[in-house]
Amino acid sequence: AGTMQPPSASPCRGGVSWQGILLAVSLLTFWNPHPTAQLTIEPVPFDAAVETDVLLLVHNASQNTIGYYWFKGNTTEDSREIISYSILTQKINTGPAFSGRETLYTNGSLLFMNVTKEDTGFYTLRTLNNELSEGGRGRTGRQKLPKPNITINNSQPMEGEDSLALTCEPEISYATYLWKINSQTITDGDRLKLSNNNRTLTLFSVTRNDTGPYECETQNPVSASRRDPLTLNISYGPDAPIINPPDSHIRPGTNLNLSCHADSNPPAQFSWSFNGRPLESTQELSIPNLSTNNSGSYVCVAHNSVTNLHRTTTKNISISGKWTREHSIKCWVEP
Ligand SMILES: *[C@@H]1O[C@H](CO)[C@@H](O)[C@H](O)[C@H]1NC(C)=O
Ligand SMILES: *[C@@H]1O[C@H](CO)[C@@H](O)[C@H](O)[C@H]1NC(C)=O
Ligand SMILES: *[C@@H]1O[C@H](CO)[C@@H](O)[C@H](O)[C@H]1NC(C)=O
Ligand SMILES: *[C@@H]1O[C@H](CO)[C@@H](O)[C@H](O)[C@H]1NC(C)=O
Ligand SMILES: *[C@@H]1O[C@H](CO)[C@@H](O)[C@H](O)[C@H]1NC(C)=O
Ligand SMILES: *[C@@H]1O[C@H](CO)[C@@H](O)[C@H](O)[C@H]1NC(C)=O
Ligand SMILES: *[C@@H]1O[C@H](CO)[C@@H](O)[C@H](O)[C@H]1NC(C)=O
Ligand SMILES: *[C@@H]1O[C@H](CO)[C@@H](O)[C@H](O)[C@H]1NC(C)=O
Ligand SMILES: *[C@@H]1O[C@H](CO)[C@@H](O)[C@H](O)[C@H]1NC(C)=O
Ligand SMILES: *[C@@H]1O[C@H](CO)[C@@H](O)[C@H](O)[C@H]1NC(C)=O
Ligand SMILES: *[C@@H]1O[C@H](CO)[C@@H](O)[C@H](O)[C@H]1NC(C)=O
Ligand SMILES: *[C@@H]1O[C@H](CO)[C@@H](O)[C@H](O)[C@H]1NC(C)=O
């Protein structure tokens, strides 16, 4: 256990009579009695004035730390707990000694806001280490990594418009992160970038081809963990519609059945018009018993309600030809 020296007497500031907070912080390292680097706590500023903020910076915490527990006083009694953070569950819990002015950061550092004279005293940080650490005496089974979750900073990305940050949760200092797209390991590219610790994947200007699925895996020396892959729902399109069948010369008296298709997410809504007059709002257009006055331009409009884009395709159809009298011939076959 290491201790900080109390600050020496300090001057007056701004006419306010104040007293430095005695921030003697004692440390208990749990399960890891022989850390390679010594954990230290540095109060910033070293001597705080009343009604200012003090940050208790935690340096050199073990890579195997999985929890930070702060107590008021030289004690680790539950009743004196201020606040704690579990890296595994990513949960911050407040204890009986929480005053509402403390903020715990995920790196263990504790921010004290608007300190009062009564805050003067000892503060104790207890760290909980993963039992894999050197010299650890385990109580429970092996420390398994939690199943990671992927969070996206935009749940409705649009093609060509949005860049996305995919983050693998939770942040675990001793784990490594591995990303896969379509089961292939990702490496940095023109349009994607991994953060320094590989925890965040940034996709620049997404396209429909970036749909995925994406997987994030956390690994430590004894285990690996992952969850079901995530597929992105990237809105795009519609592309220019295609009208089928492609024929443009049709005989009178037959039926005209035209269908319109356009690649789009979510699926496009379709509508038709003929020579500038709106027809029905369906994907298929059906006109029975064609006559020459059905010749003209048929326009299919595809609309995507999310991207709010419209695309149209025009097809000119001519109904021509005239039925002639039917000719039949009777053939006799001699026995
Ligand atoms: C962290 O530990 C290293 C190695 O023990 C030491 O050299 C360094 O000064 C420490 N840093 C702090 C801020 O305590
Ligand atoms: C811990 O996090 C806080 C808030 O993000 C930051 O101000 C501080 O510098 C961090 N401490 C260390 C030792 O990195
Ligand atoms: C904290 O308390 C323990 C015994 O409970 C004592 O050995 C230690 O010296 C105390 N630390 C400080 C800084 O007073
Ligand atoms: C700081 O605390 C004092 C009482 O101790 C209160 O009067 C003041 O409004 C607080 N300031 C802020 C910024 O919360
Ligand atoms: C991951 O997501 C699941 C389901 O959405 C949720 O129950 C779980 O708490 C999340 N875990 C973390 C570490 O965010
Ligand atoms: C998501 O993150 C990317 C990359 O950092 C950024 O360009 C984009 O603006 C972010 N989107 C939102 C909605 O915050
Ligand atoms: C990040 O991932 C790449 C491969 O995707 C790997 O080569 C690299 O070593 C990883 N970096 C870290 C810090 O895990
Ligand atoms: C998607 O990939 C296909 C096939 O590689 C390519 O033809 C197409 O242009 C890509 N689309 C976009 C929007 O990048
Ligand atoms: C994709 O997102 C759109 C809205 O942005 C929504 O209408 C659609 O249902 C989503 N599709 C899936 C498969 O979640
Ligand atoms: C055209 O559509 C009509 C009505 O929907 C249908 O009865 C007919 O079989 C269709 N003809 C062809 C060639 O698809
Ligand atoms: C088709 O239209 C022609 C006139 O354009 C009419 O003589 C004929 O009876 C119609 N056939 C049917 C099946 O409606
Ligand atoms: C075409 O002419 C027929 C009568 O020959 C008529 O019933 C029909 O409404 C006309 N269609 C159009 C599109 O003008």
Lowest-confidence segment of 17-21, 163-167, 212-216 by average pLDDT: 17-21
Give 206's pLDDT tier (boundaries 50, 70, 90). very high
Query: Which CATH superfamily does the domain covering 242-319 fall into?
Result: Immunoglobulins (2.60.40.10)
Q: What share of the chain is helix, strand, coil (3-state, %, to 5)?
A: 5, 40, 55
Share of the chain above pLDDT 90, in %: 36
The yes-or-no verdict on residue 34 having pLDDT over 50 is no
CATH T-level topology, domain 12-136: Immunoglobulin-like (2.60.40)
| DSSP annotation of 241 | P
Between the ranges 69-73, 88-92, 102-106, 177-181, where is the mean pLDDT highest? 102-106
In this structure, CATH architecture of domain 149-226: Sandwich (2.60)
The yes-or-no verdict on residue 251 having pLDDT over 50 is yes
Q: What is the pLDDT of residue 118?
A: 83
**Closest of 166, 157, 167 to residue 209, by C-alpha:** 157
Which residue type sits at 281?
S
178 sits in which H/E element: strand 176-181
Q: What tokens does 200 get?
A: 């965040």
Q: What tokens does 28 get?
A: 């208990």
Atom of ligand 6 nearest to the CA of 202: 4
The answer to whether 102 and 109 are in contact (CB under 8 A) is no
**Closest of 228, 226, 181 to residue 206, by C-alpha:** 181
Tell me which ligand sits closest to the C-alpha of residue 60. 1
Q: What is the pLDDT of residue 223?
A: 64
Residue having the nearest C-alpha atom to atom 1 of ligand 5: 149
Q: Is the CB of 104 under 6 A from ligand 6?
A: no
The answer to whether 238 and 150 are in contact (CB under 8 A) is no
Q: Which of 34, 40, 41 to mutate to test the pocket of ligand 1 (most atoms within 8 A of CB)?
A: 40
Tens of pLDDT, residues 298-309: 999 999 999 999
Q: CATH 2.60.40.10 spans which residues of the chain?
A: 12-136, 149-226, 242-319
Q: Is the CB of 59 under 6 A from ligand 1?
A: yes
Give 221's pLDDT tier (boundaries 50, 70, 90). low
